[in-house]
Structure 1
Amino acid sequence: MLDLTKLAQQMQGISQQLTLEATATRQRLDRAQLLMAQANERQADLVQMQELWRDRLNFTAAMPLESLDTRIEIAAPPAAHTVIATDGSQIAPSHHEIAYCYLINVGRIILHYGQSKLPLLDSLPEVFYRPEDLYVSRQWGIRTEEWMGYQRTALEAQILAELAQALTDEMEAPTLALTDGSLIYWFLEQLPAEARDRILAPILAAWDQLRAISVPLVGYISASRSGEALNFLRLQSCPYLAPDCMTHCSEVVDRAPCQVLDPLKDAALWAIRLEPGQRSPLWKSSARIQEFYGDHAIHFCYVNVGSEIARVEVPAWVAADEDMLQSALSLVLGQVQKGYGYPVALAEAHNQAVVRGGDRARFFALLEQQMIKAGLRNVGTSYKETRKRGSIA
C-alpha cells in the first residue's frame, strides 16, 4: 500500500525541479526559433548537406519537403464521409495459467457521417495456442511476449485493409483509414531478416490494398516524443564545415555541440508556431527501417488540433497526392473535434479491443471448460497465481 505521508515529503523537490525545467525549456524554444529562421534561409543547402553526409551522422533527422515557415490551414471535413479504425489488445501468455497461450483482440470501427448508414463497432479475437505460434520466435531469440505484440501490429493493419476492401462497392464519400500510433515500426530494425519479413510483409500488403482502392492511411500520434524535425536544425547548429559526426564528435563525452536543443521535442516547437487548425511543413522520415518499406516511405507533419500538437503520419503515396492528403487531414481534424481532443474512431476502437479483468477471467474459465470437456485432468492455475489472487492479509 502506498504511504502518502512519506510520499508528500518528496513533492516539494519535484515541484522545484519542474520549475527549473520549464525555465530551461523556454530558453531552448527561443534558441530553436532562431535556428529555424536561419535554417529557412539556407534550407536547400542543408538538405543537400544531409543527403551527402547521411551515413556519417549519428542522429536521425527528417528531411523537410516544404519551406520551414509553411503553415497551412486545414479545411473542414465534408458533411458526408467515412472513417475506419482498428486498435488491438491482448492477453499475454503465462506459465502460471491453466494453459500457455495468448489472445489478440482487435477492435473494428466503421463510422459513417451524413450517409444514413449503420456503424460497425465490434472486435475480432484470435487465440494462438499451437506450438508453431507460441515458439516460432524462439529461433531468433525473441520472447513469445514480444512476438505477440508484433503479431498484433500486423493484425491491426490487415483487418484495417479488410474493412476498407469490404466497403469498396458502396464507397461514395471520402474515406479514411486511421490507426493509433506511428507507421514507422522502429522495433523491426533489431529483428533478423526472416523475423522482420514475417511481420512487415503482411503490413505492406495491407497498405497496398488501401492504395489500390484509394483510401488514405493515417497514423495518429498523440503526445508525440519525436525529435526528428528538430534534429534537422542540428545541421544548422553544427560548428564544422561538414557534419561528419564520426570524425568530429566520436570521442565527445558529454554532448555534441549541435545538441543545444536537447531534450526539446518537435511538438513543443510547433506548439508556438501553429494556430489551431494549421499544419506544419511536410517532412520525410529518415528512419533506417524504411529501407524495407519500398514505395511506402513515411511522411509526416504536425497538426494543431486544438487540444494538442499531434504528429500525423502517412505513406508516400498519400503525401504525393495533394488532394488525398488534404482530405485525410481534414477528416483527422474532424475526428479530433468530434472526440473532444482525440479521434473518436480510435477511442472507440480501443474501447472495443481492450481486455479487462473480467474478460480475462471469462476467457480462462471458457478455456478450462473446454479442457475438461476434452478429458484433461489437473486443470488449474499454479499455486503462485492462486495465492496472488486470494490474499489472506
Structure 2
Amino acid sequence: MLDIAKLAGKIPGISEHFQQEISASSQRLEQAKTIVQEAQRQQDELIERYHTWRDRLIFSAAIPIEPLDTRIAIRPPSDRHSVFATDGSQIAPSHHEIAYCYLINVGRVMLHYGQNLHPLLDSLPEVYYRPEDLYVSRQWGIRTDEWLGYRRTVLEAQCLAEMACGWVKPPGAHHEPNLAMVDGSLVYWFLDGLAYEARDLILLPIQEAWEQLREARIPLMGYLSASRSVEAINFLRLHNCTFDTPNCTLNCVDLDQERTPCQGIEPLRDTTLWGESLQPGQRGPLWQSSARILDLYDEAQRIYFCYVNVGTEIARVEVPAWVVEDQTLLNQALGIMLAQVNKGFGYPVALAESHNQAVIRGGDRVRFFALLEQQMIRAGLQNVGTSYKEARKRGSIA
C-alpha cells in the first residue's frame, strides 16, 4: 500500500527539479532555433558530411529530404474514406499459473466514412503452449516474455494486412482513399541486438505484410504520440561539430558522449523544436531515418518521418519509402491521419479503439485461466491449480 502522507513530503523537490529543467530547456530551444537557421543555409553540405562520415559517428542522425523550413498545410481527406488499425495485448507466461502458456490478443478496427457501411471492431486471440512456441527463443538467449512481445508485433502487422487487403479491391480498380495505421514506430530498434535467425523470424513476416499493403496501394503509417526521438536534433550536431571532420571515433574517443562539443542543445527533443514553428494542421520537412537496423529492411520499406502539429501535440508520423515516393498516397495518408486525430479529440480514434479491443483486463485473465482449468480437468489431468505463492497473493489477510 502506498503511504500518501510520506509521499507528499517528496513532491516539492520534484516540482523544483522540473522548474529548473523547464528554464534550461527554454534556453536550449532558443539556441536550437538559431542553429536550424544556420544549418538550413548549409543543408546540402551537412548531408554530404553525414554520408561521408556516417560510419565514424557515435549517434544516429536523420537526413532531411526537404528544406528545414518546410511548412506544409495538410489537406483534409475526402468525405469517403476508410481506416484500418490493429493493436495488441498479451497474457505473459507464468510458472505460478495452472499452465505455462501465453496469449496474444490483437484488436482490429475498420472504420468507413461517408459510405454507409458498418464498422468492424473485434479482436483475435491466439494461445501459445507448444514447446516450439515457448522455448524456441532460448537458443538465442531471449526470454520467453520478451519473445512474446516480438511475436505480438508480427501478429499486429499480419492482421492489419489481412484485414485491409481483404477489404480493398484489387489494384487498378476504383476504391475509396484509405489508411492502415499502427500505434508506435515502424523502426524496430529491438531487432538490433538479436541473432540473425531470430531477426528473420520477426522481420521477414512483417516485411511480407507490408508488401501486401504496398501491392494493394494502402498507405501504412506509424503514429507516435509524445515521441522522445532526437534523430532530427542529431542532424544539427553535424553543424555544431568543432572539428574539421566529424570523426567521433577519433576526435572524441576520450570524452563521455554527454560532454562532446556537439552536445550543446541536448537533451532537447525533436517535438519541442518543431513545436515552435508548426501551426495546427501543418507538417514539417520529411526526414529519412538512418537507424542502422533499417539496413535490414527492403529498400522500398525504409522508414521516413515528419512531425505534424495535430492541434493537441506535435506527433511523429512514420511511413515507408514507397508511400513517400507517391505524393498522392502521402497526402492521402496525412489527411486521413489528421481527421482521425480530430475525431478522437487529440488521438487517432481508430488506434484508440483498436487498443480498447485488444486490452486484456483482470477479469479477462481470470476467465481465461478458469476456462483453461475446466478443459484440463475434463481431459483427466490431476492436481490442476495455481502455485501456493500465487494463491496466497490473491487472498491477502492484511
Q: Same fold by TM-score, threshold 0.5 exceeded?
A: yes
Aligned twin of 1:140: 140
1:311 aligns with 2:316: yes
1:233 aligns with 2:252: no
Question: For the residues of structure 2 that align with 1:196 and 1:315, how far apart are their CA atoms?
Answer: 19
Alignment of 1:314-333 (within 5 A): 314-333=319-338
Question: For the residues of structure 2 that align with 1:285 and 1:215, how far apart are their CA atoms?
Answer: 21
Question: For the residues of structure 2 that align with 1:11 and 1:106, how far apart are their CA atoms?
Answer: 39
Q: Following TM superposition, by how much is the alpha carbon of 1:78 offset from its aligned partner in structure 2, in angstroms?
A: 1.1
Question: For the residues of structure 2 that align with 1:70 and 1:9, how far apart are their CA atoms?
Answer: 47
Aligned twin of 2:189: 186
**Identity value in percent:** 63
Question: For the residues of structure 1 that align with 2:198 and 2:248, how far apart are their CA atoms?
Answer: 32
Alignment of 1:103-122 (within 5 A): 103-122=103-122
Equivalent AA in structure 1 for residue 112 of structure 2: H
Describe the SS at the equivalent of 1:169: coil
TM-score (norm 1): 0.99
Equivalent AA in structure 2 for residue 123 of structure 1: S
Q: Following TM superposition, by how much is the alpha carbon of 1:7 offset from its aligned partner in structure 2, in angstroms?
A: 1.3
Describe the SS at the equivalent of 2:223: strand
Question: For the residues of structure 2 that align with 1:304 and 1:169, how far apart are their CA atoms?
Answer: 32
Question: For the residues of structure 1 that align with 2:272 and 2:82, how far apart are their CA atoms?
Answer: 31
Structure 1: segments with no counterpart, 5+ residues: none
Aligned twin of 2:391: 386
Question: For the residues of structure 2 that align with 1:27 and 1:269, how far apart are their CA atoms?
Answer: 12
Aligned twin of 1:219: 222
Q: Following TM superposition, by how much is the alpha carbon of 1:189 offset from its aligned partner in structure 2, in angstroms?
A: 0.4
Equivalent AA in structure 2 for residue 219 of structure 1: G
Aligned twin of 1:287: 291
Alignment of 1:200-211 (within 5 A): 200-211=203-214
Aligned twin of 1:268: 272
Aligned twin of 1:250: 253
Aligned twin of 2:176: 173
Q: Following TM superposition, by how much is the alpha carbon of 1:172 offset from its aligned partner in structure 2, in angstroms?
A: 2.0
Describe the SS at the equivalent of 2:9: helix
| 1:3-38 C-alpha deviation (Å, 9 max, x unpaired) | 122111111111111111000000000011011000
Q: Following TM superposition, by how much is the alpha carbon of 1:307 offset from its aligned partner in structure 2, in angstroms?
A: 0.4
Alignment of 1:157-172 (within 5 A): 157-169=157-169, 172=175
Question: For the residues of structure 2 that align with 1:379 and 1:134, how far apart are their CA atoms?
Answer: 20
RMSD between superposed Cα atoms in Å: 0.8
| 1:355-374 C-alpha deviation (Å, 9 max, x unpaired) | 00000000000000110011
Question: For the residues of structure 2 that align with 1:324 and 1:384, how far apart are their CA atoms?
Answer: 54
Q: Following TM superposition, by how much is the alpha carbon of 1:169 offset from its aligned partner in structure 2, in angstroms?
A: 2.9
| 1:121-161 C-alpha deviation (Å, 9 max, x unpaired) | 00000000000000000000000000000000000000000
Describe the SS at the equivalent of 1:201: helix
Q: Following TM superposition, by how much is the alpha carbon of 1:97 offset from its aligned partner in structure 2, in angstroms?
A: 0.1
Question: For the residues of structure 2 that align with 1:45 and 1:140, how far apart are their CA atoms?
Answer: 42
**Selected match of 2:364 from 344, 359, 369:** 359
**Selected match of 1:198 from 196, 201, 210:** 201
| 1:251-276 C-alpha deviation (Å, 9 max, x unpaired) | 11351010111111100001111000
1:15 aligns with 2:15: yes
Question: For the residues of structure 1 that align with 2:78 and 2:259, how far apart are their CA atoms?
Answer: 49
Describe the SS at the equivalent of 2:67: coil
Describe the SS at the equivalent of 1:117: coil
Equivalent AA in structure 1 for residue 339 of structure 2: G
Aligned twin of 1:43: 43
Q: Following TM superposition, by how much is the alpha carbon of 1:279 offset from its aligned partner in structure 2, in angstroms?
A: 0.2
Question: For the residues of structure 2 that align with 1:194 and 1:281, how far apart are their CA atoms?
Answer: 36
1:82 aligns with 2:72: no
Q: How many corresponding residue pairs?
A: 393
Describe the SS at the equivalent of 2:352: helix
Equivalent AA in structure 2 for residue 226 of structure 1: S
Describe the SS at the equivalent of 1:123: strand
Question: For the residues of structure 1 that align with 2:284 and 2:24, how far apart are their CA atoms?
Answer: 24
Question: For the residues of structure 2 that align with 1:228 and 1:136, how far apart are their CA atoms?
Answer: 34
Question: For the residues of structure 1 that align with 2:60 and 2:187, how far apart are their CA atoms?
Answer: 13
Question: For the residues of structure 2 that align with 1:376 and 1:6, how far apart are their CA atoms?
Answer: 49
Question: For the residues of structure 2 that align with 1:318 and 1:86, how far apart are their CA atoms?
Answer: 19
Aligned twin of 1:372: 377
Q: Following TM superposition, by how much is the alpha carbon of 1:242 offset from its aligned partner in structure 2, in angstroms?
A: 0.6
TM-score (norm 2): 0.98
Aligned twin of 1:92: 92
Question: For the residues of structure 1 that align with 2:382 and 2:222, how far apart are their CA atoms?
Answer: 47
Q: Following TM superposition, by how much is the alpha carbon of 1:168 offset from its aligned partner in structure 2, in angstroms?
A: 2.4
Question: For the residues of structure 2 that align with 1:217 and 1:135, how far apart are their CA atoms?
Answer: 32
Describe the SS at the equivalent of 2:261: coil
Question: For the residues of structure 2 that align with 1:373 and 1:334, how far apart are their CA atoms?
Answer: 51
Describe the SS at the equivalent of 2:44: helix
Equivalent AA in structure 1 for residue 394 of structure 2: R
